[in-house]
Each structure stands twice: as structure tokens, then as C-alpha cells.
């Protein structure tokens, strides 16, 4: 418990310092606590210490935790690979999905969202063009984003990336910079002008991501320690 508060302070200090160095308001940046393969005790402690956004990668594990913990005022984010037979449970149990890279998945999430509020969605971009990696290719992002933005029960919020390597310096070819440029270009289209989210940066590269405009950083080990 004590340790959890210290870890949260450490991470929020990193976020605040990175935001201030980039002339950004720290309040624009959400700390998404990635709780996959972490114990319910740790998650409950993080919630008690004030965190309200939690990210999970595996549906079955997540469903159990969500039901057992019953955390008040909490947003659950699905950030893992999505099989089409899992979309109904994801649409029902989560508030956000960061890992959409196919129209079929988005259509199913839209049809199966049986709730009054839309499901917040980010398009996962395969920013380093890796073979066998999840995410839509950057040159295919526009057409997919336009189709998803037109679906009911879905609010397309922005883009998510997992770069090949941790990105600890904003070099010429920084993947976070390429993601920001893509995001800004997509936002010039009227149908996509309301996108407001760049989900990028993990424990090792929070600072670089924030310097490039991240609005959600997804942090696991720096908060919770090593996973089981």
C-alpha cells in the first residue's frame, strides 16, 4: 500500500516533469495503469491511492478482476489483441478499446455495445511497419479511420502505438513523432477533427511520448513492479 503510493508519486512526477518540459499542461495527460498479470490487491491499492484508469490485455483475466473488484468511478481499457469471438464481452465490460486495427472488429464492437454511452476507441497503428505485428499500416489508417468514425455506438478518440523499441530520445525518425504527424494529418479531415487521444508511451519511454503529444501513457511495471 505504502509502496504503491510511492510508485504512483514517482510516475506522476515523471509525467508532470515531462509535460512541463514540453510546455504542456500535465492535466491533459492520463495515467493508464496497466494491470495485466498483476494481483487484485495491487489494483485495489492503486485505486485506493486515486488511480481511475486501468488497462488489461487478456479478456478472461480482465473480466474476473472487473467483476470481483467492482471499483467505483473507474474506466477499464482493453489494450490487447482482439479475437472476433471476444468482441461482445469487450463491448459490454470496457469503456475504452485501444487495440482496434480491423473494420470487422470495430463493426462488431459497435453492434454489440449494449449501453447508452458510446465505446471509446483508438486505432492501433503499426508505426514501425513490422511484419506480424498488430496495427494498421500508416498508409491505410485514413481509410479505416473514416469508416470507423461513421459507426454508431463508437467514439473514435485517436491513435495507439507500441513502437518496436523503447523510444528514449526524439531522434529524426522517432516513432512517436511519426505517430503525432499522422494524427495531425488525420485531424485535418472534418470527420476526424474531434479526435483528441494519442495513446503512447510505456514505463521506459513516458518522457519521449509526452514530448511528442501523448495524452494517455500506459504504464505497467513502473507502477506495479514485475508481472507474474
Ligand X SMILES: *Cc1c(COP(=O)(O)O)cnc(C)c1O
19 binds ligand X (CB under 6 A): no
33 binds ligand X (CB under 6 A): no
34 binds ligand X (CB under 6 A): yes
Task: Please give the C-alpha separations between residue 103 and each of 79, 111, 120, in angstroms, as whole numbers.
Answer: 17, 12, 15
113 binds ligand X (CB under 6 A): no
Longest dimension (CA), the chain: 48
Q: Pick from 79, 119, 174, 192: which binds ligand X (CB under 6 A)?
A: 79
217 binds ligand X (CB under 6 A): no
Closest C-alpha among 72, 11, 36, 17 to residue 203: 11
7 binds ligand X (CB under 6 A): no
Site for ligand X in 42-61 (CB under 6 A): 57
17 binds ligand X (CB under 6 A): no
162 binds ligand X (CB under 6 A): yes
202 binds ligand X (CB under 6 A): yes
157 or 218: CB nearest ligand X: 218
Q: With contact defined as beta carbons under 8 Å apart, do 26 and 16 qualify?
A: yes
CA distance 125 to 225: 27
Residues of the shown chain interacting with ligand X in the complex, contacts defined by CB under 6 A? 34, 36, 57, 79, 162, 202-203, 218-222
Amino acid at each position: 500500500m505504502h509502496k504503491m503510493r510511492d510508485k504512483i508519486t514517482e510516475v506522476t512526477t515523471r509525467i508532470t516533469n515531462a509535460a512541463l518540459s514540453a510546455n504542456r499542461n500535465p492535466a491533459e495527460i492520463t495515467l493508464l495503469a496497466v494491470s495485466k498479470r498483476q494481483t487484485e490487491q495491487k489494483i485495489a491499492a492503486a485505486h485506493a491511492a486515486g488511480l481511475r484508469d486501468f488497462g488489461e490485455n487478456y479478456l478472461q483475466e480482465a473480466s474476473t478482476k472487473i467483476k470481483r473488484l467492482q471499483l467505483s468511478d473507474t474506466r477499464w481499457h482493453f489494450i490487447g489483441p482482439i479475437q472476433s469471438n471476444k468482441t461482445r464481452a469487450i463491448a459490454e465490460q470496457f469503456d475504452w478499446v485501444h487495440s482496434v486495427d480491423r473494420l470487422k472488429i470495430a463493426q462488431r464492437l459497435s453492434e454489440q455495445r449494449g449501453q447508452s454511452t458510446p465505446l471509446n476507441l483508438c486505432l492501433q497503428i503499426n508505426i514501425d511497419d513490422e511484419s506480424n505485428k498488430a496495427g494498421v499500416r500508416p498508409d491505410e489508417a485514413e481509410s479505416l479511420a473514416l469508416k470507423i468514425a461513421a459507426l454508431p455506438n463508437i467514439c473514435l478518440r485517436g491513435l495507439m502505438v507500441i513502437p518496436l523499441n523503447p523510444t528514449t530520445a526524439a531522434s529524426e525518425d522517432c516513432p512517436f513523432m511519426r505517430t503525432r504527424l499522422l494524427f495531425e494529418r488525420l485531424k485535418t479531415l472534418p470527420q476526424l477533427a474531434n479526435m483528441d487521444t494519442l495513446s503512447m508511451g510505456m514505463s521506459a519511454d513516458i518522457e519521449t511520448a509526452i514530448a511528442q503529444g501523448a495524452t494517455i501513457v500506459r504504464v505497467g511495471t513502473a507502477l506495479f513492479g514485475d508481472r507474474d
